[in-house]
Chains A and B, each alone.
Chain A
Amino acid sequence: RKEVEQDPGPFNVPEGATVAFNCTYSNSASQSFFWYRQDCRKEPKLLMSVYSSGNEDGRFTAQLNRASQYISLLIRDSKLSDSATYLCVVSNPQNDYKLSFGAGTTVTVRA
C-alpha cells in the first residue's frame, strides 16, 4: 500500500466554483501534514500546513481526520490561477527528516 494516495483527477471546474478533494495516508502515527501546489513543469511550492483542528488560508481550507487517516483540501471561489496539481504530503513517523509525497491531484479551472 502506498504511504500517501490521492485521486489523480483531473477535477475540471468553472471559475467561481468550489472544489474539494482528499488524500489518504497509511501510517496512523504520522504527525505533520501539508499541501503543496505544483504548476506544470515547475517545482512544488508549500501551499499550507494542515493542523489538527483544521485551518483556512484565504480561499483554501484544509482538514485532518485522524480517525479515518485522510486530509482534505477545499478551494472556494476558484480562480483560473488555481489550476495546478496539488500534492498531499505527510511526515514519516520513523524519521523526522523524511516526507512522503502523494502523486498529486490535478485541478483545472475553466473560464
Chain B
Amino acid sequence: SQTIHQWPATLVQPVGSPLSLECTVEGTSNPNLYWYRQAAGRGLQLLFYSVGIGQISSEVPQNLSASRPQDRQFILSSKKLLLSDSGFYLCAWSVNSQPQHFGDGTRLSIL
C-alpha cells in the first residue's frame, strides 16, 4: 500500500531563516505531488504541484520554491522566511490526478 512521509512535524524558525520541508511517497511510481498551506481556520491553498521529476507548477507567487529531485520526493524551500509564511504545510500525492492523499503535515511557526 502507498504511504506518505512528511517531516518535520513541527518547526519554529526565525524571520529571515531558510526552510526545507521534505516529503516522500512509498508504494507507487510517478505520483502527482502537491504542497498546500493551511492558515488557521482557513481552507487549503495549493502552493505547488508536480506531475514528474523536475516538473514544478507554481500556483501562488511568493518566496517559496519547490523541487522534485526524485520520482517520489518533493521538497519545499525558502531562502528567507517571512512572518506570513506561518501555517500548516501539507504534502499530498495522487495517481491519475484524483483523489489526493495527505501526509501528516508540518506546523511552521515564524518568530
Report whether chain A binds chain B.
yes
- Given known pairs A43-B90, A103-B43, the reply for A98 and B102 (CB within 8 Å) is no
Interface of B is mostly: strand
Interface residues on A, range: 20 to 34
Query: Which among A43, A98, A104 has the highest number of chain B CB atoms within 10 Å?
Result: A43
Near A by CB (< 8 A), chain B positions 35-70 give 41-44, 46, 49, 51, 57
Interface residues on B, range: 20 to 34
Chain B: which residue is nearest A4 at the CB level?
A: B43
Interface of A is mostly: strand
Residues of B within 8 A of A (CB): 32, 41-44, 46, 49, 51, 57, 88, 90, 94, 97-105, 107
Could you list some 11 contacts between A and B, CB below 8 A?
A41-B107, A42-B104, A43-B90, A43-B105, A46-B99, A46-B100, A89-B99, A97-B97, A102-B43, A103-B41, A104-B43
